[in-house]
Structure 1
């Protein structure tokens, strides 16, 4: 047996104090799944593909970005009595999972029931690096700030109205409004990520032509001032940009923050140093394809352009809900950090990473969460300086599910065996279709936060976070997540684990090979 971490040793002591009923050992048979699985309807109302442009324009006209009332929060979170049967049973489940997973590093587990009772708290109030489960905080902040139907608008205006023959005797100003889905023709044609929501800048070029512009004597100037402050978050190592895990966050960004470089043998994507300049250049290229010459080329104006009175056109992003579905299910870092900063701008007026962190507790005040030990250095969870107690993530999930945005909140989540980062998780187990949630992964971090839904629709909310993992412990941490979720599902559905048969003598497990996940029979 591999060496147990400190938490595993502590819970091993707990295990021997719990009464465990003896049972007849049986070998693995095909599992029996009972009850209604979690509906495959999740996210059907908010498809990942972009809305038609006309629908986006209509949504923009109707949208008023104002704080959303989350409604009266549920009853206060309470701690289950020490002799509570469910709490005792789940303590055993988590203890056994920590042991069976091997050595999952510095791991914490938090479980709440549907009534907000704390059933399991293993180190869950200690702040840990959350990885992408931090996107749940970003999603909650954005929904509470803007509402699910909000759109972000990009505009084009000229410093002088088109004159004789459609000539603009001045500049065209491209002003960003925080849309993280603007795309160029190059991005679309290279099909880097065709399922990602897209707002083609070509549509804006069409509007400029329709406004009568035939020539621009000046330049196309990209204005990123919608989001003030530095483009990179504290705690982002330089390798994030090299590996394209992160890109500069700006009020005007195109192509997911990439720029494309022609290396002769083909195009290569790299993180754009000046996203607004890249966006302006993309608009110049789109106008050129439509026969509009821009004499002055393109550039950015980080300080903004104060006087561009001649409106030429505007683009609206897909709805916020569409963006958040993509962000949560596919763990889209660029959307997360842009939306995070947009919340900061709306609430604090500037839009820096610090602004967004500072307003989190205010924006989500109705949820009555304890933010005292939380650090949110970005919205994606990439920062090595972010730290969130797992108990806060579990409570956030519980409170948002029971808020006036509960239906939208549940639609955001990936579903085990169906969608997003959970599409290939827990397939063929009793937890398939029954877990909705968000995963997280950094080099030495593994995390998951979500809800296991019971046959009556009442969930158990769970977060498992593991930090400071060495390479051999990464699989152990993931296995801990799976075993905890399976244990919760077994408790909800009255299932009993079937011990696997011993490995065949001629086919033993490799030293680092984990045994298969357990199967269950359900009453």
Structure 2
């Protein structure tokens, strides 16, 4: 007999498939995690079960149906209890403690201009009501949501209009909502009004860099030797993630560069003397092959113009922008957020490199500035993670140092000077090639710290829609790098108790009197939407109230089918 497929199942099947695809990998990881405890539990339970079997064997030659069912149920309970215990511990709400702690421990560091806001709770973020919607929306198949209804302009105006008209948001407000499947604007208020975007500028910086230089591009830092001399030049390539720390955490390592440079210098010296040079693990000096003293210089000529951002020197949000720096010029062990910075990151990086060479048996002079010639021979090179990874890190943590570096990479790819002005011109030109709406747009920097930056809500949503285009997979890091509400980056401490938790992915922007939010959300019908909300006010509004107002706007999209 053929049972006809129920209408309700036909309607629900696409969502069930998406859920299954999202949950499947997690089940595999969960099974792998509980397997060892289950094996141990089985070993413990096996002897008593054997003894119990031997004891009842004489009494029951053939178990009845009731006996068989009872035994199977009991064994099932034992196994279930073992699994629950192994996967625990569990708290009083029924949530696995380890899972809760993992979610709460995800990156909490605010972006450079997104420090903690007064009035927000320091408690652990609540579990997302559904992470599946976020994953389904960003899974790469925008067309898959084409069969579900799109919100209507009238319905969205009815729910968003009153919220955006709230005077608490400030004197100037703008908002746009776009259907990512069709590119159609579903809601617009002040859509074409250029406003100060703050750190949502980084979305434009990301799109421009990925299209100009490519997602696989890596930024190189080199040590070169000038021919006919004993001068070693440390050449900065503009990698803001270069690190001198022992744990490079996937970044280019100044220590690795020193290892390889020392090894190359000793090999060169050995070739001159004919002696056998040996190096121990890590490239440090061993017996033989001792190199003579070298003149150490450093080259930052790749960048042009002033290294000081218009916000001024000594700002904890950004180091002087130079082609050579280690650990973003931070004077502490932080990796994101505001921190005291070096006044001369390039000189500090060169001095650290000299120290590392000394540890490896290479004597150097005090480093000074120079410019490597075209004839210089490369001794060693280290490269940054791919641009796609830098984009994600920049967006998640709102990293201003990476943003300014990416703007200069765009300038270099476009043949413009690697400066604030050149980066802005190259970004504008790159977005123009993509056919994006640039009326009124101005790019004064790559980070959004400069109040001279001007973007429209229409442009921000167009950038997000471009990143979701199936024909532009190279732009996908723009979406995957967006912070997740209540969990990651600059949204980790926002959205507590709000329905947008785990469903909204958005880039934040905050300057005095300026608050912005732009990103993506999947509504209750499964439709992927892009949104941008910008507010600006003089005198400034209350920061907490304004940010909560923007969060409410995005959460409303998450809970509104609005068809």
Same fold (TM over 0.5): yes
Which among 488, 507, 515 is matched to residue 446 of structure 1? 515
Question: Are 1:224 and 2:291 an aligned pair?
Answer: no
Change (3 A) 1:366 1:305: closer
CA apart distance, 1:103: 4.5
Aligned to 2:170: 104
**Shift of residue 135, structure 1, vs aligned partner:** 0.3
Q: Which of 1 and 2 has greater Rg?
A: 2
Q: 1:144 to 1:307 in 2, by over 3 A?
A: closer
CA distance in 1: counterparts of 2:395 and 2:226, whole angstroms: 40
Residues 353-432 of structure 1 mapped to structure 2, 5 A cutoff: 353-402=420-469, 403-405=471-473, 407-432=476-501
Q: Deviations over 1:369-422 (max 9, x none)?
A: 122311111101011211111211111111221142254332121111222112
Task: Indicate which of 280, 298, 309 corresponds to 2:367.
Answer: 298
Is residue 253 of structure 1 aligned with residue 325 of structure 2? yes
Q: What CA distance in whole angstroms lies between the structure 2 residues aligned with 1:121 and 1:157? A: 55
1:209 aligns with 2:278: no
Q: Is the 8 A contact 1:224 1:251 kept in 2?
A: yes
* Larger helix percent: 2
Bigger shift: residues 358-367 or 383-392: 358-367
Cα distance, 1:124–1:254 mapped onto 2, change above 3 Å = same
Say if 1:397 and 1:450, in contact at 8 Å, map to a contact too: yes
Contact 2:179–2:185 (8 Å) recurs in 1? yes
Instruction: Quote the residue 2:83 is aligned against.
Output: none
Residues 268-277 or 364-373, more deviating? 268-277
Equivalent in the alignment of 2:378: 311
* Distance in 1 of aligned mates of 2:321 and 2:191: 31
| Superimposed CA distance per residue, residues 191-232 of structure 1 (whole angstroms, 9 cap, x where no aligned partner) | xxx87x632201111001221434453421111122222213
Q: Distance in 2 between matches of 1:254 and 1:41?
A: 37
Distance of aligned partners of 1:341 and 1:307 in 2 relative to their CA distance in 1, 3 Å threshold: closer
* C-alpha distance in structure 1 between counterparts of 2:204 and 2:215, whole Å: 15
Distance 2:298 2:528 in 1: 47
Greater shift, 144-153 or 224-233, is seen at 224-233
1:277 to 329, 347, 366: 347
Q: Distance in 1 between matches of 2:423 and 2:452?
A: 15
User: What is the SS of the residue equivalent to 1:487?
Assistant: helix
Q: Secondary structure at the match of 1:465?
A: strand
Q: 1:158 to 1:103 in 2, by over 3 A?
A: closer
Query: What is the TM-score of this pair, normalised by structure 2?
Result: 0.65
Question: Aligned in 2, Cα 1:40/1:215: closer, same or farther, shift over 3 Å?
Answer: farther
Runs of 5+ consecutive residues of structure 1 not aligned to the other structure: 1-29, 44-73, 75-83, 162-168, 261-267, 495-523
**Pair 1:180 & 2:228 matched:** no
SS class of match (2:453) = coil
1:36, 1:455 within 8 Å by CA — same for their partners in 2? no
> Contact 2:137 / 2:528 at 8 angstroms: preserved in 1?
no
User: Deviations for 1:218-251, whole angstroms, at most 9, x for unmatched residues?
Assistant: 4211111222222134xx222xx32311211112
Higher alpha-carbon deviation: 361-370 or 434-443 = 361-370
CA distance in 2, matches of 1:350, 1:484: 40
Aligned to 2:531: 462
Corresponding residue pairs, total: 399
Which runs of no fewer than 5 residues in structure 2 stay unpaired? 1-125, 144-149, 267-289, 333-337
Deviation, structure 1 residue 276 = 2.4
1:435 is displaced (CA, Å) by 1.1
Residue pair 2:128, 2:503 contacting (<8 A) in 1 also: no
| Length-normalised TM-score, structure 1 | 0.70
**Quick check: 2:521–2:558 contact (8 Å CA) kept in 1?**
yes
Query: Which residue of structure 2 lines up, in the alignment, with residue 498 of structure 1?
Result: none
Aligned-residue offset at 1:85 = 7.4
